[in-house]
Structure 1
Amino acid sequence: MSWDIQGLFRLHAKGIARSLMRRGMSGEAAADITQDTFERVLVRQSTLEGATNHNPKAYLYRVSRNLGINQIRRDALIRTVDLDSEEAREQPDPSPSPEHIVYSRQCLLQTFRALEQLPARTRTAFEMHRLGERTIAEVGEELGISTTRAWTLIHQAYRHLLSATEEE
């Protein structure tokens, strides 16, 4: 025995939509979820025969409630703005300005120049730690120095980079 989806839709679609609107959904969202509810039931009808044949109305309301909860969760994660609203026109462009790009490149060039001024061992220790993502103990072991000496070299490099980039 199969469900009469058309009959169930005629009997329960308005009630399902009203129950979704009582939960705070807009009329359009409630109508969409109501259609999704019946689509789900239609697609899964063959697997539902034995388990839910006794009360299709309760099953439809449960499916619509679950879909409504999922929709509310999605809406909470994603902030939407109507494109015709004033708020949308006031949204800043997320791409960096040309001035910011030039400034960032200048800062990067200053940092490279400051790195070139460092003694070879200090620079190597700094690059292994900062760029190679090695711990201070690993840097010390690889360079054949104590952990304390490795920390000192890296600390000196940081201090030099900060002083060199602040001056310019």
Structure 2
Amino acid sequence: MTLTFTLDPQIDPALHEALLDLWTDASNAGGAVGFVPPVARDDIRPQLVKQLGMIADGQMRLLVGHDGDGLAAAAFLGLNRHALMGHWIWLYTVMVHPGRQGRGYGRRLMAASADSARAMDGVEAIRLSCRGGMGLEHFYAACGYKEVGRVPGAIRVAPGDDRDDITMLLPLH
């Protein structure tokens, strides 16, 4: 299927609900997108509303990927407002629907995120953080990111299960 990306889509009720479904499904499939399964839509909703509010305030942008079956992927691009850090952005909540994984959608989402960042005035790099213990740093490295920092045990997914918070960087030039 064709995967088509849109930066800054119109966020109507249908997209809002599709994002909520995607985030819930990704979380419940074990995706490291801010929650630990099991989660319900109502668990995700406050964070989605917060991030959509940041889009409305100009602090964040949304990239979505649709295929013939609907919303397949999404990522949030966080803009820096600090005067000394405006030359890089954050990439947050990178998600591919679990039923569509294994089709190269993740790599295509990462490439579309980089292309979107390159089109932004003055943006020279993308930073992201990922949860250790899942191999995500290997996926991001295969997409061109380099590990630039690690905080051991910073993410507590359950009592006795602490994971590293890994920071990765993709220079865009």
Fold equivalence (TM over 0.5): no
TM bucket normalised to smaller: under 0.3
- Normalised to the residue count of structure 2, the TM-score between the two structures is 0.27
Q: Which has the higher strand share?
A: 2
Q: Which structure has the highest helix share of the two?
A: 1
TM-score normalised over the length of structure 1: 0.27
